[in-house]
Amino acid sequence: MRGMMRNLLALLLLFCFLTPISLIAPLSAQNDPQASAPASAPEPNTKASGRIEAAGTVLDEIQGAPDQRIPEEVLGSAECVAVVPSLLNGGFVFGARYGKGVASCRTEKGWSAPAFFTIGGGSFGLQIGGQATDVVMLIMNKGGMDHLLASQFKVGGDASAAAGPVGRHAAADTDWKMRAQVLTYSRSRGLFAGLELNGAVIKQDKDSTRDFYGRMVPFKTSLKGDIEAPKAAYPFLSTLAKWAQQASK
């Protein structure tokens, strides 16, 4: 009998000892959000997505101008379109000679998933010099597209380049179809004009590619349409499709 009473007393003491701990734990967790909240997912990268949106805005503003724009027949013939939007940290300002852009190419399914690239070096002409400079490059034929798909090429070296014609329609006497694989443009301080980019080197921006896709995606895979474009790419691709379709009418 004494043994049973001793065991019962021991259990009662154990219960009284453990109960405060069990009550305090959830209360302390409720008062400390960091302790109770589950581990949050990593914040999505906004720099690559921001470049996509900026590229769409640049193209929309340029093509929305009545006279100072890429001629419709030129844009309608381009195999690929690459845009380097002005960045806050200098971007494509003269002297820095460095910028980051995004490109897309025509495929059987429409415009391809975007490819991210950097461009630097070379001579950027007199148009570069304003604090807000946007650059547009049109790859006009298969040869230029092959260079772009190689993930690295030198404008004017590996791929022939020329300043593109400007206006709603290209003048009849221009030979833009024959003279260059890449046509280049710039917009600085409101002035839109053809731009010489000879010597500039284009390379795949691997960091932005990984940030945007969550993994490394080669130029060929994205630009040939072998992967589906994420929803975040629509601000650029939908704008590109709109103006390309209008140019083909």
pLDDT at site 92:
47
The predicted-structure confidence for 115-172, as pLDDT tens digits, reads as follows 999 987 655 544 444 455 788 999 988 888 888 888 777 777 767 778 888 887 766 5
The predicted-structure confidence for 81-95, as pLDDT tens digits, reads as follows 999 997 433 444 444
pLDDT class of 43 with cuts at 50, 70, 90: very low
Please give the model's pTM, rounded to 2 decimal places: 0.74
The predicted-structure confidence for 175-234, as pLDDT tens digits, reads as follows 666 567 888 888 877 788 887 777 778 899 999 999 999 999 999 999 999 999 999 999
**Among 142, 119, 130, 245, residue whose Cα is nearest residue 188:** 130
Contacts of 194 (CB under 8 A, 6+ apart): 162, 163, 164, 165, 166, 183, 184, 185
**Contact criterion met (CB below 8 Å) for 114 and 54:** no
* Residue with more model confidence, 57 or 97: 57
